[in-house]
Structure 1
Amino acid sequence: MREDQYHHGDLKQELIDKGLLLLNEEGIEGFSLRKVAKMCGVSHAAPYKHFKDKDALISEIIKEVWKKLYLSLVEVTKLYSSDAKLQLVEMGKTYVKFMTQNPQYLKFMFLSDNNCSVDIKNGEFFVEDAAFEVLKNSAEVFFKETKLDKKLYMQKILGMWSLVHGLTILITQKNLRYDGDYLDLVGEIIESNI
Structure 2
Amino acid sequence: MTEQKSQYHHGDLASAFMDAAIVRIAQEGVDKLSLRAVARDLGVSQTAPYRHFTDKNHLLSLLAQQGFERLAHTSFEASSHYQDDTFKALMALGLAYIEFAREHPQHYRLMFGGTIKRDCGETQVMKTSMSAFDVILQQATLGVERGDLIQQEPRLLARSCWAKVHGIAMLLIDGFYSELNAQQLNQLLMDMLWINLRGISSQLLPVTPPALN
Q: In structure 2, do the counterparts of structure 1 residues 186 and 114 end up closer, same or farther at CA, with 3 Å as the change threshold?
A: farther
Contact 2:17 2:49 in 1 (8 A): yes
Range 180-189 or range 65-74, more displaced: 180-189
Contact 1:20 1:108 in 2 (8 A): no
C-alpha displacement of 1:20 = 3.5
Taking the TM superposition and a 5 Å limit, the aligned residue runs for 1:1-194 are: 2=2, 5=5, 10-22=12-24, 25-27=29-31, 31-49=33-51, 51-54=52-55, 55-114=57-116, 129-146=130-147, 148-150=150-152, 152-176=153-177, 177-193=179-195, 194=197
C-alpha displacement of 1:192 = 2.7
CA distance, structure 1, for counterparts of residue 91 and residue 114 of structure 2: 27
Offset from partner CA, 1:5-57 (integer Å, 9 cap, x none): 26579543231023235567243xx65422321233322133245x0422543
Contact 1:80 1:87 in 2 (8 A): yes
Contact 2:101 2:169 in 1 (8 A): yes
Q: TM-score, normalised by structure 2?
A: 0.70
Offset from partner CA, 1:29-87 (integer Å, 9 cap, x none): x65422321233322133245x0422543332122111111111221232222221211
Q: In structure 2, do the counterparts of structure 1 residues 180 and 63 end up closer, same or farther at CA, with 3 Å as the change threshold?
A: closer
* More helix by percentage: 2
Q: Secondary structure at the match of 1:178?
A: coil
CA distance, structure 1, for counterparts of residue 3 and residue 84 of structure 2: 53
Q: Secondary structure at the match of 1:5?
A: helix
CA distance, structure 1, for counterparts of residue 129 and residue 109 of structure 2: 19
Q: Point out where structure 2 has 5 or more consecutive residues left out of the alignment.
A: 198-213
Tell me how many residue pairs correspond in the alignment. 182
Q: Among the aligned pairs, what percent are the same residue?
A: 22
RMSD: 3.1
Q: Point out where structure 1 has 5 or more consecutive residues left out of the alignment.
A: 118-125
Contact 1:4 1:43 in 2 (8 A): no
> Where does residue 121 of structure 1 map in the other structure?
none
Q: In structure 2, do the counterparts of structure 1 residues 86 and 16 end up closer, same or farther at CA, with 3 Å as the change threshold?
A: same
Q: TM-score, normalised by structure 1?
A: 0.76
